[in-house]
Chains A and B, each alone.
Chain A
């Protein structure tokens, strides 16, 4: 399609130019710089840096905890979104507003708060301690922090989809003889599935990039509770810009692969629905 084709809205040329410029300046050029710095090393140096045991352990924690946190948010975020959209109860508005709190708090504040609560002598940590469950300064703490900061992303992306599930659809299914669980499984769930995946993706992306809250609760023991972003900061503080760029590059690639996979899954799911019919 040619750009010159008359369009309903004027100003396509201007807005398209602005979009391209903005994306380049804010997203693409800094990312390219990162790649450039990383590629200025020798292949050997690069591999040694990114495959060092400490780096590998940090990837495992960062992506593992992020996936776990996003999964937790998928389930509980759905339940919260469901409760908020389907039921009316006193205090609903208040809870709805509370969801956004992690958005607004500086992440360091959430980190400190979580640490206080989950430390061995904290409000909750003290009761978990006798069972041998340690939250603060372990991978569990990291997961808790990532769950907290990802939660609003999950809830807020699922809420509109749940609001949009027409009551008529459920009513129709019910008059056709379907029970409540059947309606949920066959009607509601497939309808909101794309929104669920979006919520999962956003929560995951947010968790991978998180730094502020985690460093307080993680304890940052090398090989154990050290996340990749922290490792990057450590490299920077050592003025090892290349090392930092190399780690950043790896994060970039893994994140991109995960997000792309989810997107492809989503598209595949849609096509499969169409194909299953043929």
Chain B
């Protein structure tokens, strides 16, 4: 491996900007770190270069631990967005800088310089000053300079950011060519997904300091695991759907489309589906659709962009409407792109009613789909649905908050019973009878219950615990999903009973390490672990009370006794608690 990052964390004033990033980059690989501004990608690059120290974790280059090695001894070449050329030196002096530092002889320096100038196609420019060159040429000089001392790793920090489109394309090709010719391991940081697609062998997508997913461009585009990656890499329609044994159902219409990836387990539950705009077909009627029918809709807007036509369609069945869109209208519209060929086959004008079909559906493996604020009265529901933390979570997860009034919420054995299944995550306020409410919801089939105390801030630390090994996977999946959307540290708290004999303690530690590696491998979640002794509820309460700004994710496998076991923990809740409930799957013989 050329570059190995192990749980690298960097904080600025206590806030993690790079959060537990682990990564292996192979020899000669072109790796692109992609993310919006402020996602921590540049900081991570600077950490690899040694210009930013890390607070936690290890960095190795070619098997050599360089975590505490200064940048000048790391053997990396770095290229900056603003070129960072030495303006009082000529092209030749700039390129020879690293060689001069190494006291290389003048003739050797000249030879190496000619070689590099040929590589970046700038022969004969030796005696120019940077100010006499165009932006593209300056960046070529910067690349040549960064390669002069034959570094083992080339790092590029948004190298095309200051260039116009045409030059950018040309320089991209040059850099890719140089990289192939030298076979040098390269990491490029960018916020431009098109650039990432054009250059990368592998892309790692970062958001909020975390490395969310990494894979080759094609896999990432067609099979994203998170909604952030799905929407950040190209356009995507996110739709809420119901996964059933027969297939996927959108809104009222049973689509029975089989997604590109099989669902998880046989449990019927709400899922988030990704439909790319180019995978949508429009036709005059349902019968003339070639693809699987989704819904009817009317065309709101058509935009001609040359090769492609972009459309926005309002769906008649609002329950099946997309979760998010960029235009901010009340009911999001479905984004569709069509090729010239498709346009010729079926001409569409604004306002026209069309039938919509989908060619390919991808179901996100994320367990958190949408939120439903639930309370006994209309006014309480209204208040709860505007809870700042809930709104923040929903916005970041690009999902919707629906409301549901349950007059008998929390009253055991009440005459009125809940109607219909609880979809997604049910949210309740931390009322005095919150424990009863929780149990009531879990007994009626709620999969996740989020308890929000008033004014709960966005958490800095998320504690994770499961009361039963059967829900380990589900709890970790939910925790990973939550932590992708909040910049917080994850801590798994393992709790053994007080009277655990010495001999069994190693088992506890073992379970902790297993949990950690499962979180990392299956869910891409980096978490720390802590081992405690004592009663589960009181240990968790004690730890949550220690510092403010914490949240608990608690996995349980049965609804019975939840109020009793965790009553104290929930009732005194000054912190958000997310309960993950999965009944063990019944295996029929």
Tell me the chain B residues, 63-120 only, with Cβ under 8 Å from chain A: 70-74, 76-78, 80, 82, 84, 86-90, 92-93, 97-98, 101-102
B211 beta carbon closer than 8 Å to chain A: no
A179 to chain B: which residues have CB within 8 Å? 72, 101
Once bound together, how far apart are the Cα atoms of A171 and B76, in whole Å?
A: 12
Residue of A nearest to B46 (CB): A171
User: Do A176 and B98 touch (CB < 8 A)?
Assistant: yes
A176-B97, A177-B72 known; A191+B84 contact, CB < 8 A: no
Once bound together, how far apart are the Cα atoms of A85 and B73, in whole Å?
A: 27
A273-B88, A277-B129 known; A173+B51 contact, CB < 8 A: no
B84 to chain A: which residues have CB within 8 Å? 166, 168-169, 171-172
A169-B86, A273-B88, A277-B93 known; A176+B145 contact, CB < 8 A: yes
User: Do A175 and B71 touch (CB < 8 A)?
Assistant: yes
Q: Which of B80, B90, B102 contacts A172 (CB 8 A)?
A: B80
Q: Which of A171, A176, A191 contacts B87 (CB 8 A)?
A: A191
User: Do B51 and A171 touch (CB < 8 A)?
Assistant: yes
User: Do A274 and B76 touch (CB < 8 A)?
Assistant: no
Residue of B nearest to A193 (CB): B88
Per-position binary interface string of chain A over residues 237-278, scored 1 when its CB falls under 8 Å from any chain B CB and 0 otherwise: 000000000000000000000000000000000000110011
A30 beta carbon closer than 8 Å to chain B: no
Q: Which of B82, B97, B148, B149 contacts A173 (CB 8 A)?
A: B97
Within the complex, what minimum Cβ distance (angstroms) separates A190 from chain B? 5
Tell me the chain B residues, 353-374 only, with Cβ under 8 Å from chain A: none
A166 to chain B: which residues have CB within 8 Å? 82, 84
B46 to chain A: which residues have CB within 8 Å? 171
User: Do A174 and B86 touch (CB < 8 A)?
Assistant: no
B339 beta carbon closer than 8 Å to chain A: no
Once bound together, how far apart are the Cα atoms of A5 and B145, in whole Å?
A: 44
B538 beta carbon closer than 8 Å to chain A: no
A187 beta carbon closer than 8 Å to chain B: yes
Once bound together, how far apart are the Cα atoms of A191 and B84, in whole Å?
A: 13
Residue of A nearest to B102 (CB): A177
A190-B88, A277-B90 known; A177+B149 contact, CB < 8 A: yes
A16 beta carbon closer than 8 Å to chain B: no
A178 beta carbon closer than 8 Å to chain B: yes
Once bound together, how far apart are the Cα atoms of A278 and B125, in whole Å?
A: 11
B127 beta carbon closer than 8 Å to chain A: yes
User: Do B88 and A174 touch (CB < 8 A)?
Assistant: no
A190 to chain B: which residues have CB within 8 Å? 88
User: Do B148 and A176 touch (CB < 8 A)?
Assistant: yes
Which of B72, B76, B78 is most buried by chain A, counting CB atoms within 10 A of its CB? B72
Once bound together, how far apart are the Cα atoms of A261 and B346, in whole Å?
A: 79
Q: Which of A169, A174, A274 contacts B72 (CB 8 A)?
A: A174
Residue of B nearest to A178 (CB): B101
Once bound together, how far apart are the Cα atoms of A48 and B148, in whole Å?
A: 67
Q: Which of A182, A274, A278 contacts B101 (CB 8 A)?
A: A182
B556 beta carbon closer than 8 Å to chain A: no
User: Do A175 and B78 touch (CB < 8 A)?
Assistant: yes
B49 beta carbon closer than 8 Å to chain A: yes
Once bound together, how far apart are the Cα atoms of A132 and B171, in whole Å?
A: 69
Q: Which of B73, B82, B145 contacts A168 (CB 8 A)?
A: B82
Q: Which of A182, A187, A278 contacts B86 (CB 8 A)?
A: A187
Once bound together, how far apart are the Cα atoms of A176 and B80, in whole Å?
A: 13
Once bound together, how far apart are the Cα atoms of A249 and B411, in whole Å?
A: 102
Per-position binary interface string of chain B over residues 466-504, scored 1 when its CB falls under 8 Å from any chain A CB and 0 otherwise: 000000000000000000000000000000000000000
B88 to chain A: which residues have CB within 8 Å? 190-191, 273
B127 to chain A: which residues have CB within 8 Å? 277-278
A176 to chain B: which residues have CB within 8 Å? 72, 77, 97-98, 101, 145-146, 148-149
B145 to chain A: which residues have CB within 8 Å? 172, 176
Within the complex, what minimum Cβ distance (angstroms) separates A179 from chain B? 7
User: Do A277 and B72 touch (CB < 8 A)?
Assistant: no
Which of A174, A176, A273 is most buried by chain B, counting CB atoms within 10 A of its CB? A176
A277 to chain B: which residues have CB within 8 Å? 89-90, 92-93, 127-129
Once bound together, how far apart are the Cα atoms of A173 and B129, in whole Å?
A: 17
B129 to chain A: which residues have CB within 8 Å? 274, 277
B78 to chain A: which residues have CB within 8 Å? 171-172, 175
Tell me the chain A residues, 168-205 only, with Cβ under 8 Å from chain B: 168-169, 171-179, 182, 186-187, 190-191
Tell me the chain A residues, 122-165 only, with Cβ under 8 Å from chain B: none
User: Do B101 and A177 touch (CB < 8 A)?
Assistant: yes
User: Do B101 and A175 touch (CB < 8 A)?
Assistant: no
A169-B86, A277-B127 known; A178+B80 contact, CB < 8 A: no
Residue of B nearest to A171 (CB): B51
User: Do A168 and B80 touch (CB < 8 A)?
Assistant: yes
A186 to chain B: which residues have CB within 8 Å? 86, 97
Once bound together, how far apart are the Cα atoms of A212 and B70, in whole Å?
A: 53
A177-B149, A178-B101, A277-B127 known; A171+B71 contact, CB < 8 A: yes
Once bound together, how far apart are the Cα atoms of A191 and B145, in whole Å?
A: 19
Once bound together, how far apart are the Cα atoms of A213 and B154, in whole Å?
A: 59
Residue of A nearest to B49 (CB): A175
A274 to chain B: which residues have CB within 8 Å? 129
Residue of A nearest to B82 (CB): A168
User: Do B87 and A177 touch (CB < 8 A)?
Assistant: no
Q: Which of A174, A273, A278 contacts B71 (CB 8 A)?
A: A174
A172 to chain B: which residues have CB within 8 Å? 78, 80, 84, 86, 142, 145
A-B interface, 5 closest residue pairs, ranked by CB to CB distance from nearest: A277-B90, A168-B84, A176-B98, A172-B84, A175-B78
- A-B contact sample (8 more), CB < 8 A, given A166-B82, A169-B86: A168-B82, A171-B49, A172-B86, A174-B71, A175-B71, A177-B72, A179-B101, A277-B128
List 20 contacting pairs A-B, 8 Å CB cutoff, sorted by A.
Answer: A166-B82, A168-B80, A171-B71, A171-B84, A172-B78, A174-B51, A175-B49, A175-B71, A175-B72, A175-B74, A175-B77, A176-B98, A176-B149, A177-B72, A177-B102, A178-B72, A186-B97, A190-B88, A277-B93, A278-B127
Interfacial residues, chain A to chain B (CB-CB below 8 A)? 166, 168-169, 171-179, 182, 186-187, 190-191, 273-274, 277-278
